[in-house]
Amino acid sequence: MIRGEDELINGRWASEVIAALPDRLHLAVEEWIRRSPDAEALVDHEVRWTYRELGQAVDAAEQWLREQGLRPGDRLMVVSENGRALVSLLLAASRLDVWVAIINARLAPNEIATIQANCRPRRVLYTIDVSPEAAEHGRRQGAVEAEVPPLGRLMVGPLAEDSEPEPVAASGAEQVAAMIYTSGTTGTPKGVMLTHRGLLYIGLVSGGMRSLQPGRHVYGVLPTSHVFGLSSVCIGSLANGACLHTVPRFDPEALVNALEQEPIAVLQGVPAMYARTLEYLDKRGHVLRPRALDYMSAGGAPLDLDLKSRVERVFGCTLHNGYGLTEASPTISQTRIGEHHQTTTVGKLLPGLEAKLLDFQGNPVPAGEVGELWVRGPNLMKGYYRNPEATAQAISPDGWLNTGDLARFDDAGNLYIVGRSKELIIRSGFNVYPPDVEAVLNSHPDVVLSAVVGRSVPGNEEVVAFVQPVAGSGLTPEALREYAAQHLAGYKRPSHYIFMDSLPATASGKILKSRLAEMAAQLDD
């Protein structure tokens, strides 16, 4: 068993921070409203709020939610993209002990309907100032537009009279703050119940270790409807007294402009975001000159060494790596400030966490070998909403979460994620881990992104590669096949290369491998 060691975070020991976690999200932010009322808290396009003004917005949002019939224990579903309205509603709901189910507005209508049927919200709100898609969903559902100063324009769905509130717990470790629905790439989306304690643990411990503190400006482009954006970026910024720049959706030009014109010091993203920014800069021959950037991190998908080195060269600072999943709020491990790894490690465990590696029969694996990763700690979800069977499958009676990821630890306690256990390809008796193949393909100068999946054939599995080439590069499958032959063992080489203008992805940038696997299964032999 591996344990995360205690360490200093912004001048305090992590164990002290964990012991003093507030019981509600809003309490952590209100500390900065009292201590630094005139410090910048939030930037939303032309709107710039101090912490005092953020507090006033939360006051207004709380009163308005009461007028909309929200009660303690109710679920409030917000179809949204990043903006000041969503931040204010999240903190106001915390005051009211209302759960917030944050739904990305770019989901399809049937996906939102499926989530709503599981969530059973008292109200559904749509933040239409930052999302045309939210407005479309609102109109489709008969929602009514409302002006809510200083939040802006919202659309309000009808009150669900038959929606029953959930019990309210005094403890932040038991009370649900938010629900994030899994992407549903492998079936019906599940509502992951995230507690106040779990989210604040990530915000204050992991966020503090990411150098989130007063005076620091954070580029908040990761969707708050995704747990990485919710806890690590949004809550991490505001619970640590930093300034959050809310950005509704990723655009490489907007990112470059912000880095060069605003005092953005902290940038968190997914590898695909960095890859597309490099492509944008290369196309325009633009040399990036960030004004204040000194901390970058990647998560949400494997980060290969070639991309890491290219990003560091262009952005001018270390690209840190981390690992987590929605059910862990999400962070489990991350590399530390001051470290510069020349490997794909996702760093050491966060303080207060435990991990173990088991084989598929539930036995511990020998030191240094690959096993399925199980974790335990204060950041784990309460469970899946209205799905006790799935909860029991994910979390053992003694509180261990099966991540479903294959991993190993080195002698120094650094964690390496090898791949998803469900995505393991067994070809001619050999294990093929997709990230290994993707790392080679992504290292080709004419490849923006790649994704590798398995395809069942009689008596075996094939490796299928989906590739997004650099536009206008002239790259061919034959050329990429020759490149792979020089860098990959025979059993790892893809049998098929499918070129795409862009790979299908979630709003957070995570590649939808289940969709690619379906496409691979339909290939002709």
pLDDT on residue 187: 59
Looking at the fold, whether 36 and 73 belong to one and the same domain comes out as yes
User: According to DSSP H, which parts of 395-476 are helical?
Assistant: 434-442
pLDDT on residue 525: 65
Strands 99-104 and 75-80: parallel
CB distance 104 to 181 below 8 Å: no
Q: What are phi and psi of 66, to 5 degrees?
A: -60, -40
Looking at the fold, whether 456 and 365 belong to one and the same domain comes out as no
User: Considering its fold, how many domains does the chain have in total?
Assistant: 2
pLDDT on residue 185: 41
Looking at the fold, whether 200 and 125 belong to one and the same domain comes out as yes
Looking at the fold, whether 171 and 261 belong to one and the same domain comes out as yes
Looking at the fold, whether 246 and 179 belong to one and the same domain comes out as yes
Q: Is residue 28 part of a domain?
A: yes
Looking at the fold, whether 76 and 171 belong to one and the same domain comes out as yes
CB distance 180 to 226 below 8 Å: yes
Looking at the fold, whether 115 and 161 belong to one and the same domain comes out as yes
pLDDT on residue 381: 98
- Strand arrangement of the beta sheet that strand 75-80 belongs to: 144-148, 152-156, 123-126, 75-80, 99-104, 176-181, 191-195, 383-384
pLDDT on residue 186: 46
d(CA 449, CA 8) in angstroms, rounded, equals 37
CATH number of the domain bearing residue 442 = 3.30.300.30
Residue 473 sits in which domain range? 424-521
CB distance 82 to 130 below 8 Å: yes
Residue ending a domain, among 409, 444, 463, is 409
- Distance, CA of 297 to chain centre: 12
Token readout for 169 is 């717990």
Q: Is residue 419 part of a domain?
A: no
Q: Is residue 415 part of a domain?
A: no
Looking at the fold, whether 29 and 176 belong to one and the same domain comes out as yes
Token readout for 399 is 């509180």
What one-character-per-residue DSSP string does 133-149 give?
HHHHHHHHTT-EEEEET
Q: Is residue 418 part of a domain?
A: no
CB distance 360 to 371 below 8 Å: no
Q: Is residue 416 part of a domain?
A: no
pLDDT on residue 68: 98
Half-sphere CA count of 440, side-chain side, radius 13 A: 19
CB distance 409 to 416 below 8 Å: yes
Residue ending a domain, among 381, 409, 437, is 409
Task: Give the pTM.
Answer: 0.87
Q: Is residue 336 part of a domain?
A: yes
Nearest CA among 437, 447, 496, 438 for reference residue 469:
447
Residue ending a domain, among 352, 385, 409, is 409
Looking at the fold, whether 456 and 376 belong to one and the same domain comes out as no
Q: Is residue 456 part of a domain?
A: yes
Q: Which residue spans within 11-90 are E strands per DSSP?
A: 12-13, 40-44, 47-50, 75-80
- What are the pLDDT digits (tens) for 314-346? 999 999 999 999 999 999 999 999 999 999 999
Nearest CA among 420, 415, 416 for reference residue 404:
420
CATH number of the domain bearing residue 23 = 3.40.50.12780
The low-confidence residues of the chain, meaning pLDDT below 70, are 183-187, 508, 525
Looking at the fold, whether 400 and 468 belong to one and the same domain comes out as no
Looking at the fold, whether 370 and 463 belong to one and the same domain comes out as no
Q: Is residue 417 part of a domain?
A: no
Looking at the fold, whether 402 and 484 belong to one and the same domain comes out as no
